[in-house]
Chains A and B, each alone.
Chain A
Amino acid sequence: IVKTRGCDGYPDEDSDESYNLSVSEGQAVLRSVTVWGALRGLESFSQLVYQDDYGSYFINKTEIVDFPRFAFRGLLLDTSRHYLPLHAILKTLDAMAYSKFNVFHWHIVDDPSFPYQSRTFPDLSNKGAFHPFTHVYTQSDVMRVIEHARMRGIRVVPEFDSPGHTLSWGKGQPNLLTPCYKGDVPSGSFGPVDPTVDTTYKFMESLLKEVKFVFPDSYVHLGGDEVSFACWQSNPNVRTFMEKMGFGKDFTKLESFYMESIMNMTAALNRTSIVWQDVFDYRERIPQDTVLEIWKGETYQAELSRMTQAGHRVLLSAPWYINHISYGQDWRNSYAVQPQNFSGTEEQKKLVIGGEVAMWGEYVDATNLNPRLWPRACAAAERLWSDEEKTLDADLAFPRLEKFRCELLRRGIQAEPLFVGHCKHEYDGL
């Protein structure tokens, strides 16, 4: 039973994902406010069904009242360091739904390649993708991902990271990137986006207009991380611009200048920006509703305090960089994260709207994506959905996660083992 209409819409940051599930003699009833809550309830229902030794299906008399602790439970895939075939992305969305993840953060382009086939700027992928035909996402590929996600109550938030991480953009958009200089002459290499010329902003505006058109979610990730200043510093035109603007030698001011423009453009297009913490760390003027994402590992609790104190909504990703593999049961590290364990008021804690598991692609592609993601990402999934007090003990979680992993296998997700043991049906692929 679903209370409100909304089958034809998209999930968003305010979607009510709560549901009640009641299983008793003769019938089971699933009640939710929205269709998205019904999806979550259906998943739980499917996890209640079990088989006995004779293969008969059973479900116990059950009462469930459920809702997510955090509204934003995301998973990041990187399709620039390695191209991920469409089926790998769709499979990931399937597995995300099994763990109640509800945001697919698509880090679609970056330095090494630009696989997004833009309708406004076709040369971006023609010249910037690993291969203009075999290693691109066409408009229809993108629509397929968005619809596949929507069917599972998953939002698709694209990231077009700038001004750094843009090397591949320069291949198809000449004059976008800053030419680096060796003394008085261009060295031949390029740096971040050139923030000193109008053409840059015209281009970004057109691109963002297209992004708004293609991606229905009201959020867009603008990146803003790891901008290296060396190239800007080497370029005489940039230095001149710095003087003109009164930035002196402080390149963080130049980056702020750029990011502010982009964030304003985004706001004008009626989209909310998400940016990496670097943008906040440079103390820029950020629209108050911009969401900040923490990715730097060492002192994220301090960062949580600072950001929420400044009144911003925050996403936590730093402790969930599961591309960082290590020997042993490292899912326990993900499970132990406490996103609201920082010094701050209750109001501040409310500003933590959720978090994201990140699977950066330097060492990952379709050959190893699934076993590396699952079931390790499930630890963060529970941390983001469930009540923390009830789920602090990893040893108690272990048998549940072990069984869930075998269930993932049964559903066709190539989830790797947690530890020694076996599943009734082992993975029969390669």
Chain B
Amino acid sequence: MYCLLKCAPLILAVAVCHGWLFGDFVGKQKELNEISLWPLPQKFQSSAVAFKLSPASFQIVHAKQSSAGPSCSILENAFRRYFEYVFGDLKKHEKSRKKVYDSDLVELQVWITSADPECNGYPSLQTDESYELSVDESSAVLKAANAWGALRGLETFSQLVYEDDYGANNINKTEISDFPRFAHRGILLDSSRHFLPLKVILANLEAMAMNKFNVFHWHIVDDQSFPYMSGTFPDLSQKGAYHPFTHVYTPSDVKMVIEFARMRGIRVIPEFDTPGHTRSWGNGIKDLLTPCYSGCSPSGTFGPVNPILNSSYDFMTEFFKEISTVFPDAYIHLGGDEVDFSCWKSNPDIQKFMVQQGFGTDYSKLESFYIQRLLDIVAATKKGYMVWQEVFDNGVKLKADTQIHVWKERPQYQDEMAKVTAAGFNALLSTPWYLNRISYGQDWVNVYKADPQNFTGTDAQKKLVIGGEACLWGEYVDATNLTPRLWPRASAVAERLWSDKSVTDVGNAYNRLAQHRCRMVKRGIPAEPLFVGHCRQEYMGL
């Protein structure tokens, strides 16, 4: 065991097993120098033996035995990014080789062990993100099956480096063996209620990588605006965006987001939510939405997608053909939430259809009728789909690999998780993680305490929980307040989804998270404070 003290007992020498730190709630100056990992790795051991790192002599390199090399742009990119995180502004350091001390760590070797490092592919739900990190005399070794695991390990490595009282970079002798508890760890951003400039999306992908999030759920369009520029149906954004030029995502914008995410091991899953939440779609596609009636004549307003017209399904076929080629992930989120039936009820053609189909007055049957056909359309594009829980609750026939997204507060999410998994479907939890719902005080604690497997069920059921997502709905959020509202509260979700379920000590979490937050600030992310205190380097932007 490495829980030994190699040096004489110093106040600063902390025997750390399994990553537990000792410290009081407020976190004294001394602890700013100690290890501040977030999320906490599965297995972590370190000793008090410290090595120095110098920007002039330290390098991150491909191990000789690695299946990845200089052609792996994901790793090349990451090496530079993490070097900058550790040492700060590169331009400040000369490249001269200075004297190397005996206790210098000169390199981190990155060793990809699988034959295929996956450098040119995209991450998926099945991706192995595990890694092993060993920091010892003169060189450190990061072993991972593929580039994705290496990315996770590089982030952890960067979190192990700390500055001593003289400002020198140090890292302790460490052994880490790590892997995520859940494979789907996501953040939802809403770019319809408010347009989100590219800069803010990219900065948050950067912050996600610092927290080992691996899914960006892009709720890209909704009632209020349609910023997605479609090649097949340009009128959608022409007529549906807040502004057809300044408030849209061009095809190259979308490509940029996808590639920026890929470089960080983050999947991009777009959500095109139907049949509800589609008001902005109607501006650009005639007859797509149901005309609502006031008595015998149209009232002038529109409701959900019109499920009785073939043109609706023809449109969806063409549209999702495009989506399936633009977005490389194996999954698309199809929405299916909060369908308001009043407009359908008012429309005489729909009333006739209901009678024809034998649906009676049960409009959820009509909703299911639509969703069923939509799912078949999407399945034909060879994509899997995620849907909000209503689709499951309404008894729609779903493919076996459908992922059900639990978000409602009633019924209790624990009961819903049990129901979904009992029916044999993968479940994703978001209910306790609606971070758009702000409140005064340290609300990260309740976020941290929620556990996706906290429901009554068999082990087989629990295995069907693939993870969860922190959601930042956009009614009150745009670029001016998104980043501080999301971070570090989303970090609490990050640890719940990555670390072992036994990692629940709030006091310990506070200490680590406060330091992790200062680290995000240092790296240019305006993560807001948890509580009273300070960071060595306060946020310099405005």
Chain A residues with CB under 8 Å of chain B are 81-83, 85, 87-88, 91, 112-113, 130-131, 134-135, 323-329, 361-368, 370-372, 409, 414-422, 424-430
Contact = CB atoms under 8 A, between A and B. Distances in A.
B542 A113 contact: no
A82 B478 contact: no
Contacts of B442: 363
Given A372-B481, A420-B193, A424-B243, 4 more contacts: A366-B540, A415-B480, A418-B476, A429-B479
B527 A367 contact: yes
Given A363-B531, A365-B539, A427 B480 contact: yes
Contact of A417 (B194, B524, B528, B530): B194
B153 interface: no
A417 B478 contact: yes
A112 B438 contact: no
B438 A429 contact: no
16 contacts: A85-B538, A131-B536, A135-B538, A325-B439, A363-B440, A365-B539, A366-B542, A367-B483, A367-B539, A368-B529, A414-B481, A416-B477, A417-B481, A418-B476, A427-B479, A430-B483
Interface residues of B, number: 49
A239 B101 CA distance: 61
Contact of B534 (A131, A417, A428): A131
A325 B443 CA distance: 12
A422 B247 contact: yes
B479 A83 contact: no
A325 B440 contact: yes
Contacts of B484: 367-368, 371
- Chain A's interface: helix, strand, loop or mixed, by majority? loop
B225 interface: yes
Contacts of A429: 199, 479, 541-542
| Best-surrounded residue of B242, B479, B532 (most CB of chain A within 10 A) | B532
A85 B440 CA distance: 23
A81 B26 CA distance: 13
Given A328-B476, A367-B484, A416-B478, A422 B534 contact: no
| Best-surrounded residue of A81, A113, A325, A430 (most CB of chain B within 10 A) | A430
A45 B527 CA distance: 37
Given A327-B439, A363-B528, A430 B533 contact: no
A91 B242 CA distance: 29
A429 B203 CA distance: 10
B195 interface: yes
| Best-surrounded residue of A83, A364, A371, A428 (most CB of chain B within 10 A) | A371
B474 interface: yes
A422 B534 CA distance: 34
B417 interface: no
Contacts, number: 142
Nearest to A361: B532
Given A88-B542, A325-B439, A367-B528, A416 B476 contact: yes
B256 interface: no
Nearest to A365: B529
Contact of B200 (A87, A368, A430): A430
B475 interface: yes
Contact of A426 (B441, B478, B485, B538): B478
Given A82-B532, A326-B440, A430-B526, A422 B243 contact: yes
A430 B203 contact: yes
A362 B225 contact: no
B317 interface: no
A419 B476 contact: yes
A240 to B, nearest CB: 33
A377 to B, nearest CB: 14
| Best-surrounded residue of A364, A372, A414, A429 (most CB of chain B within 10 A) | A429
A430 B246 contact: no
Contacts of B475: 419-420
Interface in B468-506: 474-481, 483-485
A127 to B, nearest CB: 13
B532 A87 contact: no
Interface string B434-471: 00111111100000000000000000000000000000
B480 A416 contact: yes
Contact of A91 (B193, B194, B542): B542
Nearest to A370: B542
A425 B225 CA distance: 16
B197 interface: yes
